[in-house]
Chains A and B, each alone.
Chain A
Amino acid sequence: MNPLDWLKRLGVTRTILAAFLLVLWIVSAVATELDLVLLFSDCLVRTGMNGILVLALVPAVRGGVGLNFGIPLGMVCGLLATVIFMNFDARGGLGLFGSIALGAALGAGAGWLYARLLEAVRGQEMMVGIYVGFGSVAGASILWLFFPVSNPELIWPLGGEGLRNTLVLDGYFKQWLDLKLAIPLGGTAFVPVGLLAFWLGLCGLVYLFFRTRVGMALSAAGANPRFAEASGIDVRSMRSLGVIISTAMGAVGIVVFSQSYGFVQLYKAPLLMAFPTVAALLIGGASVRVAKVSHVIIGTFLFQSVLTTSLPLVNALVGQAEGAQALTNLPEIARLIISNGIILYALTRKESA
């Protein structure tokens, strides 16, 4: 395939973002003392840790319910599973995969209820999803306070009851996946092979799923419900299936996110996490109706890399200008404008395809 065709397939938005990222890296390499290898390693870790959450949106879009802003519901299930396993002092791979399995099961259950709600609100799924997400985070906050916790590492140190804001995964399964098969790049930098493999493996599974009969029926139900109905597909249960998978994967996603991050964040932390997740998928080239696994991979990498690179870069650039006290606020503002400006641009471009 010649490069021009390849560019065309990538789309204008992605090309611009990729070029922007390249410029960021070149500037960091040429004009600052930033360690490019470390920066690159951070980009990969961030991509891996957010990737499953972004992937979780795909089945919902395919099933025709649009962007699943209710993904915090799945995250809360994953957090609950993690907390249960930590409370029983399950460490290492057992803790991680136990949390993933239980989280997925809880997520599937919650997803089933959520799907029934969404079925009732056809046409307004995204609005309802936002509030379901917010509501589940607020409801979970009450749960965290009442959780019958016995592991002393998890209890509020002053109050002696309820779960802490932040639980440390050290000694449990902190970076368990990240460090599996990791290729060290010197210093603290490394390529998180285990994490990326796990994510890409899941991507592959989702890809294969959409090749199966059920997966194809799900896509058909989302793309053209009437036609699907006519050809004998149970559209309702297919849509529900999409939501259930999406919510269960949201639960898996937050467990993987937490292990990479090293902390489990309860209470308000998942509240706004749906938005960057959705933004990553959209940047990858998806829309409300179309989402492919390739969109997930490209979008997560581009979006997370731009976020990871831009702030340290601008910090370093401004830091070099001597006596620039007045400019101390500039980097974060610049980042806010640049990264959101680019998302806006991506959202408002009229794509031909």
Chain B
Amino acid sequence: MKRVSKAWVRGILLTGLVSFAWACSGGGETSDSADSSQAADDGKLPFKIGLMTGTVSQGEDEYRGAEAVIAQYGADRIRHVTYPDNFMTEQEAMISQVLNVAADKDVKAFILAQGVPGSMAAIKRVREFRPDMKFLVYEPHEDPHQIADYADVCIMPDNLKRGETIVDLAKEMGAKTFVHYSFPRHMSQELISRRAKIMEERCASQGMKFVFANAPDPTGDQGLPGAQKFILEDVPRQVKQYGQDTAFFSTNCGMQEPLIRSSADNHAIMPEQCCPSPTHGYPGALGIAISEEDAGDMGAIRQAIHEKVAEAGNTGRMGSWPVSVGMVAIEALTELAIKAVEGETGIADQASVASELQTAAKAEVTVLPFEDKQNYYMFLIESVVF
């Protein structure tokens, strides 16, 4: 008897769930169609664009990039969602978010920034019922050869070329030794491990010593605080061993703040962050104060960093890119997505990718295809030294 009644309760629960779902579905449908019918004639985009970024705790740049395009095109035209902070282990949640936005028939293109693991799976699933959906990916984490087969356009900073430019910049800043912090999980990403090799070779040809140092994985047992504390402890050790003319580089975003801080304190060299942008690491590490009216003003932010670096007595030994690469990429991809949906051909051409990036960055951008791929590009922006 007890068993039967339990089954009853479950049955009621399930039917309740399903029927509620049915009941409220009407509302959703009508509001959707109302949306699309009026959209065409008020000068707005006649379609929507899906956009997925990380939250600000992952890094502010991309989220603000999304806010910028929303401000431009309206919150009803850009459907913005975020992927989980621990995206490495929560692929499922990320895929669901993409699917749900893609279910909106007005969404014609989707921008994934960054293309965290699960992007390929998400694209595959969406194309099952929306074969026409355009996918534009910024900084794909997955295998470059594989994702190029799924996405329409992929762009990312030219991390291989940066292997040379960063070392060269460090050399210009006077470095004699180059310390590269990473950990196994990152070194198993193809582009990162290839870049480490390029850096090592470049150091050899520039007559610098290359030191590969391991740091704890921030997703490991000590967590992010443990990894950051390690950086704060290890930089003075390395400086003691190799002298102040040592350049530091880390592959992990979370380590940038302690790395910048201790490079400044120990008068070491910090040529560029993992993801180059004045807003990545510098404000947090140096306690940059940004007044409300200056928020988002890159010139003011660069100036503030400049002053703080001078205060630390490290002028000319710290660098980055002049603009936020995440924001630039999202703005450029949005323009490309609009063109693609409007039927323009050749959006994946090198020339059109380059021109959109240049417009967004308001600076000279070098764009090169990755190996022989015709839709996977890597770009470089001239460095700024503080």
Contact partners of A340 in chain B: CB under 8 A: 221
The residue of chain B having its C-beta at the shortest distance from the C-beta of A172 within the complex is B287
* Chain A residues within an 8 Å CB radius of B197: 325
Listed by A's residue number, 14 A-B pairs whose Cβ atoms lie within 8 Å are: A46-B229, A152-B292, A153-B288, A156-B295, A157-B60, A261-B229, A268-B86, A273-B225, A276-B221, A312-B237, A319-B213, A331-B214, A332-B214, A335-B216
Q: B261 within 8 Å of A by Cβ?
A: yes
The chain B residue sitting closest to A318, CB to CB, is B214
Residue numbers of A with Cβ under 8 A of B are 33-35, 38, 42, 46, 141, 145, 151-153, 155-162, 164-168, 170-171, 187-188, 257, 261-263, 265-269, 271-273, 275-276, 307-308, 311-312, 314-315, 319, 325, 328-333, 335-336, 339-340
Interface presence of B184 (CB below 8 A): yes
Contact between chains at A157 and B288 (CB < 8 Å): yes
Q: Assess A153 versus B287: contact at CB under 8 Å? Given A158-B295, A328-B187, A333-B184.
A: yes
Instruction: Find out whether the CB atom of B287 lies under 8 angstroms from the CB atom of A171.
Output: yes
CA distance A162 to B183 in the complex (A): 32
- The 3 A-B pairs at the shortest CB distance, nearest first, are namely A160-B295, A168-B287, A166-B284
CB distance from A283 to the nearest CB of B (A): 13
Q: How far is the CB of A338 from chain B (nearest CB, A)?
A: 12
Pick from A42, A265, A314, A336: contact of B225, CB under 8 Å: A265
Q: B223: nearest residue on chain A (CB-CB)?
A: A272
Nearest-CB residue, chain B, relative to A260: B229
Whether B258 sits at the interface, judged by CB under 8 Å, is yes
Tell me if B's interface is mostly helix, strand, loop or mixed: helix
- Residues B60 and A153 in contact, CB atoms below 8 Å apart: no
If the complex has contacts A168-B286, A332-B216, are A159 and B221 also in contact, measured as CB distance less than 8 A? no
Q: Which one of B182, B230, B295, B301 lies within 8 Å of A311 (CB-CB)? A: B230
Interface residues in B, total, Cβ within 8 A: 59
**Contacts of B223 on A, CB cut-off 8 Å?**
269, 271-273, 275-276
* B8 interface contact, C-beta 8 A: no
Instruction: State A164–B196 Cα separation when bound (angstroms).
Output: 30
Contacts of A273 in B (CB 8 A): 223, 225
CA A269 to CA B254, docked complex, whole Å: 10
Cβ contacts B275-289/A at 8 Å (1 or 0 each): 000010001111111
| In the assembled complex, B164 has its CB within 8 A of some CB on chain A | no
Q: How near does chain A come to B185, taking the closest CB pair, in angstroms?
A: 9
Q: B54-67, CB under 8 A of A: which get 1 and which 0?
A: 00110011011001
Most chain-A Cβ atoms within 10 A of its Cβ — which of B229, B234, B236? B229
* Nearest CB in chain A to that of B188: its residue: A329
Contacts of A329 in B (CB 8 A): 183-184, 187, 214
Say how far B96's CB is from chain A's closest CB, in angstroms.
18
Q: From B285, which residue of chain A is reached at the shortest CB distance?
A: A168
Which partner residue on chain A sits nearest B193 by CB separation?
A328
Question: Judging by beta carbons under 8 Å apart, are A315 and B287 in contact?
Answer: no
Nearest chain A residue, comparing its CB with the CB of B277: A158
Q: Do A262 and B288 form a contact, CB below 8 Å, given A157-B295, A332-B215?
A: no
The complex places the Cα of A141 from the Cα of B261 at a distance, in Å, of 24
Q: In the complex, A155→B228 CA distance in Å?
A: 21
- Residue B342 CB within 8 A of the other chain: no
Contacts A276-B226, A332-B216 given: A38-B236 contact, CB under 8 Å?
Answer: yes
A330 to chain B, nearest CB (A): 8
Known: A157-B279, A269-B223, A276-B223. A311 touches B232 (CB 8 A): no
User: Given A170-B287, A262-B232, A332-B215, does the pair A325, B295 have CB atoms closer than 8 Å?
Assistant: no
Contacting residues, chain A, for B56 (C-beta < 8 A): 145, 156, 159, 162, 165
Q: Told that A332-B184, A332-B217, A339-B221 touch, could you supply 15 new A-B pairs with CB distance under 8 A?
A: A33-B241, A46-B229, A152-B291, A155-B292, A156-B60, A159-B295, A165-B56, A165-B284, A168-B286, A269-B225, A275-B221, A276-B226, A308-B233, A312-B233, A315-B213
Residues from chain B with a CB closer than 8 A to the CB of A265 are 224-225, 228
Residue contact A263 to B258, C-beta cutoff 8 Å: yes
User: What separation, in Å, do the CA atoms of A266 and B241 have in the docked complex?
Assistant: 33
Chain B residues near A330: list those with CB within 8 A: 214
In the complex, chain A residues whose CB is within 8 Å of the CB of B291? 152
Specify which chain A residues have a CB less than 8 angstroms from the CB of B85 in the assembled complex.
267-268
Q: How far is the CA of A188 from the CA of B233 in the complex (A)?
A: 10
A35 touches B214 (CB 8 A): no
A257's nearest neighbour on chain B, judged by CB, is B225
Look across to chain B and name the residue whose beta carbon is closest to the beta carbon of A43: B233
Q: Is the CB of B221 within 8 A of A263?
A: no
Contact B290 A152 (CB under 8 A): yes
In contact, A311 and B216 (Cβ under 8 angstroms): yes
B233 to A42, Cβ gap below 8 A? Answer: yes
Residues of B within 8 A of A153 (CB): 287-289
Chain A residue nearest to B59 (CB atoms) is A165
- Contact (Cβ within 8 A) B236 A276: no
Contacts of A33 in B (CB 8 A): 241
Return the contact of A332 from the options B183, B225, B261, B296 (Cβ within 8 A).
B183
Interface centre among B221, B228, B261 (most CB of A within 10 A): B221
In whole angstroms, how far apart are the Cα atoms of A145 and B230 in the complex?
28
Residue of B nearest to A275 (CB): B221
- In the complex, the chain B residue whose C-beta lies closest to that of A46 is B229
Task: Report yes or no: A160 in contact with B216, Cβ–Cβ below 8 A.
Answer: no
- Contact present for A35 and B237 (CB under 8 Å): yes
* A residues in contact with B220, CB < 8 Å: 336
Complex: chain A residue closest to B217, CB-CB? A332
Interface residue B384 (Cβ < 8 Å from any Cβ of A): no
**Is B129 engaged at the interface, CB distance under 8 Å to the other chain?**
no
Residues of B close to A328: CB separation below 8 A: 182, 187, 196, 212, 214
Report the separation of the CA atoms of residues A196 and B261 in the bound assembly, to the nearest whole angstrom.
Answer: 24
Residues of chain B in range 251-308 having any CB-CB distance to chain A below 8 Å: 257-258, 261, 279, 283-292, 295-296, 301
- What's the Cα separation between A331 and B211 when bound, in Å? 14
Q: What's the minimum C-beta distance from B191 to chain A, rounded to whole angstroms?
A: 16
Judged by a CB distance under 8 angstroms, whether B240 is at the interface is: yes
Min C-beta distance of A90 to chain B, whole Å: 15
Q: A309 to B316, alpha carbons, bound, how many Å?
A: 33
Q: Is B200 an interface residue (CB 8 A)?
A: yes
Q: Which of A38, A164, A188, A268 contacts B224 (CB 8 A)?
A: A268
Contact of A158 among B214, B285, B324 (CB under 8 A): B324
Chain B residue nearest to A138 in the complex (CB): B85
Q: Complex formed: what's the CA distance from A314 to B63 in Å?
A: 38
A333 to B240, CA, bound (A): 26
**Measured between C-beta atoms, what is the minimum distance from A281 to chain B in Å?**
15
Question: Inside 8 A of B232's CB, which chain A residues have their CB?
Answer: 261-262
Residue from A156, A157, A171, A268 with most neighbouring chain B CB atoms (10 Å): A157
